[in-house]
Amino acid sequence: MAEDPRRSAVAEEPGAVPALRDDRGQDWPWPPTRGPEDAAAPWATWLVLLPGAFTPVCTGELGWLGELATDLAADGVAVRVLACDAGPVLRRVREELGLPEDLVLLSDFWPHGAACAALDAFDAASGRARRVSVLLDADGVEAARVTAAPGWPRSRTEHEAATRALLGDR
């Protein structure tokens, strides 16, 4: 059987599996396609990495990401935000911005940036995630990637187009 050439987001080394917690303190598996209590994985999952939850660009992105998460949930697509911020910081962000429950906020605080590193999106010099979004299919395989330069936002349109392209295959 030939090996699948697509990039898998699942860490292959046992010690390399990132530990994630949501803004309520619940542990999440890696990759976070399935929640702590989800019986089935969604059709696809966006992993959206934020350099800093309270920065102006990230705060702006969180607004449309909340709307996108609610819109995509109807199609079986989940949106998970990963940030190197601690869980209580993410909880405060959710409260202050009034983010919907469909948008899951996950802390990649310790080991610091391990999930971002597993997605090849951690800037060790700054200790922050790069501005990267990764779309995983139901098997945890990367289907698309959206990036933006430091200080510049990603666009909702790019995320919607990549989602449509993947869902067109099902």
Token digits of residue 132: 């990267």
Is 91 strand, coil or helix? helix
Following DSSP, what letter does each residue of 36-60 receive, concatenated?
SS-SS--SEEEEEEES-TTSHHHHH
Of 116 and 3, which is predicted with more confidence? 116
Q: What is the pLDDT of residues 132-159, one digit of tens each?
A: 999 999 889 999 999 999 999 999 999 9
pTM of the model: 0.88
Q: Provide the pLDDT for residue 16.
A: 59
Q: What is the pLDDT of residues 117-129, one digit of tens each?
A: 999 999 999 999 9
Q: What is the pLDDT of residues 86-113, one digit of tens each?
A: 999 999 999 999 999 999 999 999 888 8
Of the CA atoms within 13 Å of residue 91, those in its CB half-sphere come to: 9
The domains found in the chain, sorted by start residue, are: 21-29+40-167 (3.40.30.10)
Q: Provide the pLDDT for residue 1.
A: 39
Residues 6+ apart with CB under 8 A from 63: 97
Is 162 strand, coil or helix? helix
Q: How far apart are CA 90 and CA 98, in angstroms?
A: 12
Q: Provide the pLDDT for residue 5.
A: 46
pLDDT band at 166 (very low <50, low <70, confident <90, very high): very high
pLDDT band at 34 (very low <50, low <70, confident <90, very high): confident
pLDDT band at 38 (very low <50, low <70, confident <90, very high): low
Average model confidence (pLDDT) across the chain = 88
